[in-house]
Structure 1
Amino acid sequence: MNHTPQESGRLIVGASGPVPGVALHAVRYDASGAMAVERSLPLPEPSYAAFDPRHGMLHTVLEEDAGRVASVPLGPGADLGEPVAEAASGGALPCHVAVHPDAPYVFVANYGDGVLSVFPTGPDGRIAASEPVQALDHLPGSHAHMAAISPDGRFVLCTDLGADRVHIYAFDAGKGRLEPHGTARVPDGRGPRHLVFHPSGRYAYLISELSCTLIVCGWDAASGRLLPGAELPTRRDAANPAANFSAAVRISPDGAHVYTTDRGDDTIAVHAVAPGGAGGAADAGGHLEPVEVVACGGAWPRDIALSPDGRLLFCANQRSDTVTVFRRDPASGRLTPAAAPLSVPAPSSVLPV
């Protein structure tokens, strides 16, 4: 696939932490990776956002004990508007939000109590209810960390860091309802946090926060089954006893490389997607090979994102109050520092829009 180089682009940077100046930021960057804040919207703990391109609407969680989710219009340029809707998230400490690509619904994962919530959106894309139309509880001790929508939009997968499971739900777009559709178990103590799908739709990559490993999973789109398989470390030294917690996982737009972060080591790992299994080259995605581990350029890399053309990688370093940027080699996947870091208080997420 050809990804035309960009001359410029936009990021939405979320933030979370006990520091002054926490806000949702609209950031402009150029082809060199140089970044500048265009507008900052003060909000309480806007830790993670998702974008609805059909309506130009951002949805951000407000990660507090009494969790909320807000809808914020995003116009041309860096025109970040004021919130136009807000709702109770249905749980505590909401940490992730996802927008369905085709149906008018938004999904929120509440970390504090493990609740997965469903919200309808209106004709202009804003959340159209003051509370969720469906709130799904999980096991005692559950910590829902992500709502991931399958490539065909038929299923929603909820990573449960507390129960070492990924809960799978069939989504009825006509009714806006989720129905339990099974669970994928991972070994005890893994702490599944986030996952991404390979562009082929046949594989997903699941990062485990507590074991600091990346699990290659098969994905059966027809049956809606997630099949955890090979597991590989994300750290340069897997035996290092220092405290470390894996965080983000992303795949390049061309599907060639998977990137993960580790908080504590403060690193980004690069993994190459290689042919694997009996399918040979046609089965690309079922096997990962380590490429390199590089310093993130800051402290506590909670999130990363790639530019749409795949040539830049941005990293939100929550404890150093910086967003760093790297140039990506499309052939090797290797990263080299690009422009100067952007200073913003406690960045927790980065979202190209």
Structure 2
Amino acid sequence: MNHPPSTTTGGSLIIGSAAPARALGAGLSTVRYDGDGAMNLFSTLPVDHPSYAAVDPRRAVLHTVLEQQDGRVMSLRIDSGTGLQGPPTTAASGGAGPCHVAVHPSGSHVFAAHYGDGVLAVIPTDADGMVSTAGPVQTIRHPGRETCAELRDSTHAHMAAPSADGRFLLCTDLGTDRVYVYAFDQGAGRLSEHQVAQLPSGSGPRHLAFHPTNRHVYVLNELSSTLTVCAWDAVRGRIEPTAELETRQDPSAPNANSAAAVRLSADGRFLYTTNRGDDAIAVHAVHDDGASVELLTTVACGGTWPRDIALTPDGRLLFCANQGSDTLTAFHRDPSSGGLTPAGAPLVVTEPTSVLPVGP
């Protein structure tokens, strides 16, 4: 399949890593890319286990969580010319093993989900957008056993996602098969439980994405490798599962598969998921203004254990962080068909766990 001429002018990516800072090339890496998907490693800031990152929507500030027993959240300034700028501002994240971080649309607060003990934390930011060194103003631990030989019935908060207007926060719990909806009081900086949606046993909800119309949410289930389509009432803050579909072309394939990342194109017409085990990126078509999803095809991720993916702002390129092979791969994306074709050579990055575009 030929890809259309790219209009991407290039930009930067921030890559998180599961490795300790002492490992060669580990930390927060800034990668430059051009319109053809060619990549080069620009700089690396040694940081222990920066598993996920998010950018303040109003300021040039990046927040990341350090996935360790005594969880930390860190803020850094972003400079378009020099990459990430120190010194960082750090604070306790409020729990063990933070695996995801999100920023309120206003930039006033940061939310951290903790896989290790099921804690969801609210951390305020200061006037410059950096996390408050005082740490969380609220921590909520989901019901369920904190430690368990099996994932089922143990609490593992995996993602925090604010609604577009910032009035609600959705949080997936992989161990208890639940999606929590919280109402958020921005003035007080506090969450209150609003709804709990129960998914089928053994689903393992991991990550989710909102449709641009703000009427649907897509929950990617790590353990069942399925995608749950949900209706979303943005006014009332209510989520309702309506359908479930496979993200694998052959669900019976004999490997230890687990789904990882979900991303939507800006126009809401295509959805992409990754499967670790299959080492594939699934391309889905979105129909009926977001109400239904169809699996179109899967493509090899170009490495192993695809932990995260991201689309460039113009949607012409998709990047994949392959944790198992220590590589970052690029794909041309056809906006009309949603199709992906490999672009350029893989870039070696130590145990990449997240990829975040920060350029134009």
Shorter-chain TM-score category? over 0.9
Is 1:54 the counterpart of 2:58 in the alignment? yes
Structure 2 distance, partners of 1:28, 1:197, is 28
- The amino acid that maps onto 2:15 is V
The partner residue of 2:83 within 79, 83, 93 is 79
Is 1:203 the counterpart of 2:248 in the alignment? no
1:281 alignment partner in structure 2: none
Contact 2:52–2:354 under 8 Å retained in 1: yes
CA RMSD of superposed structures (Å): 1.2
The partner residue of 1:65 within 62, 69, 75 is 69
Structure 1 distance, partners of 2:315, 2:143, is 38
1:35 alignment partner in structure 2: 39
The partner residue of 1:150 within 156, 163, 179 is 163
The partner residue of 1:317 within 318, 322, 332 is 322
The partner residue of 1:106 within 86, 110, 134 is 110
The partner residue of 2:15 within 2, 13, 16 is 13
2:336 alignment partner in structure 1: 331
Contact 1:71–1:83 under 8 Å retained in 2: no
Q: Describe the shift of the 1:166–1:73 C-alpha distance in structure 2 as closer, same or farther (beyond 3 A).
A: same
Deviation per residue, 1:117-147 (Å, 9 max, x gap): 0011011110013321100011122100000
Deviation of the 1:84 alpha carbon: 2.7
Deviation per residue, 1:308-331 (Å, 9 max, x gap): 000000000001000000001101
**How many pairs are equivalent?**
342
The partner residue of 1:229 within 213, 230, 242 is 242
Deviation of the 1:34 alpha carbon: 0.6
2:304 alignment partner in structure 1: 299
Contact 1:302–1:349 under 8 Å retained in 2: yes
Deviation of the 1:239 alpha carbon: 1.3
Structure 2 counterpart SS, 1:84: strand
Contact 1:207–1:247 under 8 Å retained in 2: yes
Contact 1:24–1:43 under 8 Å retained in 2: yes
Structure 2 distance, partners of 1:266, 1:259, is 13
Is 1:173 the counterpart of 2:186 in the alignment? yes
Structure 1 distance, partners of 2:44, 2:19, is 16
The partner residue of 1:117 within 117, 121, 125 is 121
- The amino acid that maps onto 2:300 is A
Structure 2 distance, partners of 1:345, 1:186, is 34
1:342 alignment partner in structure 2: 347
Unaligned runs of 5+ in 1: 276-283
Is 1:351 the counterpart of 2:356 in the alignment? yes
Deviation of the 1:103 alpha carbon: 4.6
Structure 1 distance, partners of 2:273, 2:69, is 28
- The amino acid that maps onto 1:215 is T
Structure 1 distance, partners of 2:43, 2:197, is 41
Structure 2 distance, partners of 1:131, 1:352, is 27
2:295 alignment partner in structure 1: 290
Contact 1:114–1:138 under 8 Å retained in 2: yes
Deviation of the 1:182 alpha carbon: 1.1
2:97 alignment partner in structure 1: 93
Structure 2 distance, partners of 1:53, 1:201, is 18
Contact 2:70–2:92 under 8 Å retained in 1: yes
- The amino acid that maps onto 1:175 is A
Is 1:126 the counterpart of 2:130 in the alignment? yes
- The amino acid that maps onto 1:12 is I
Deviation of the 1:6 alpha carbon: 2.6
Is 1:193 the counterpart of 2:181 in the alignment? no
Contact 1:15–1:45 under 8 Å retained in 2: yes
Structure 2 counterpart SS, 1:13: strand
- The amino acid that maps onto 1:259 is Y
Structure 2 distance, partners of 1:190, 1:120, is 32
Deviation per residue, 1:254-285 (Å, 9 max, x gap): 1110000000110000000111xxxxxxxx10
